[in-house]
Amino acid sequence: MTLVKKATGVLEEFDENKIVNSLVRTGIPLNTAREVASKIIPKTKVISTKEIYERVLGELKRVNIAYAEAYRLREAIMELGPTGFPFEKYIGEILRALNFQVTLNHVLKGRCVSHEVDILAVKNGRKILVECKYRNDWGGRVNVKTVLYVYARFLDLIDRLDEAWIVTNAKFTLEAVKYGKCVRLKLVGWNYPPGNGLEELIRRTRKYPLTVLLTIQMVDYKILLDYGITTVDKLASLTPESLSELLGIGYEEAFKIVSDARNFMKVLTHM
């Protein structure tokens, strides 16, 4: 029997089905998922979740690079940083895909003070304050203090807003969830609410962040961000010629990046 050591230090029995599940959740077809998982039988008595992750990623790369890219979605989002601004821009794109009208860093006058809100999202006349909490560490959690603070902000803006949301790539503490429910603030975290968290929103809207692409360099990513291109589908819609001009790189390199983006979108649409 092999034991798996989780990030928290807890040990649990190795279970191939868990790998299959995580792959299927990613959008990979069941047959491929089973095939990949069957290759990850550990040879050591104890294996870390990180090691399993790396090995799964390696297998996926061999099958189809797009599978690997989709699988590392959470890591990719953490690469959006170092500040929270690219994350806000990216969440804005997801909201646009959900037919919200989006304004970033809007200043709203409240009852007591003015507030620069991360995102003002409007749909069917409803005005929503969206506060983004970006964390670039695993295991970071948004705690009740943040939810209390956003609620007070919402109360100060109550004359102008209908709802307030907090969107994070991290998780929420139990207290944060309890308080959020109680004051009716909508919390969207990586895995929260169950079946409707950020991961699911991304997979449903197909708005993947640029950082999933394994072919793209950090320096190019930053330039694209400045041009307002934060998602793979936008990159895939460019011609190699225009990308080459945008980034000041050769046609071949640009062609490779665009092909990777198009392959990613194609595979995901068929997933």
Residues that bind a copy of itself (CB under 8 A): 111-113, 144-145, 148-149, 151-153, 155-156, 175, 178-179, 182-183
**φ, ψ at 63 (rounded to 5°):** -75, -55
Q: Would you say 77 or 167 has its CB closer to a copy of itself?
A: 167
CB of 164 to a copy of itself, least distance (A): 12
d(CA 242, CA 182): 50
Token pair recorded at residue 61? 């790369």
Q: Would you say 67 or 151 has its CB closer to a copy of itself?
A: 151
CB of 109 to a copy of itself, least distance (A): 12
CB of 149 to a copy of itself, least distance (A): 4
Q: Would you say 72 or 135 has its CB closer to a copy of itself?
A: 135
28 and 264 Cβ atoms separated by less than 8 Å: no
CB of 186 to a copy of itself, least distance (A): 15
User: Residue 103's CB: how many other CB atoms inside 10 A?
Assistant: 13
207 and 94 Cβ atoms separated by less than 8 Å: yes
Q: Would you say 41 or 183 has its CB closer to a copy of itself?
A: 183
CB of 145 to a copy of itself, least distance (A): 6
75 and 92 Cβ atoms separated by less than 8 Å: no
Q: Would you say 71 or 151 has its CB closer to a copy of itself?
A: 151
Q: C-alpha angle 110/119/105, rounded to 5°?
A: 75
Token pair recorded at residue 189? 């975290």
SS3 232: helix
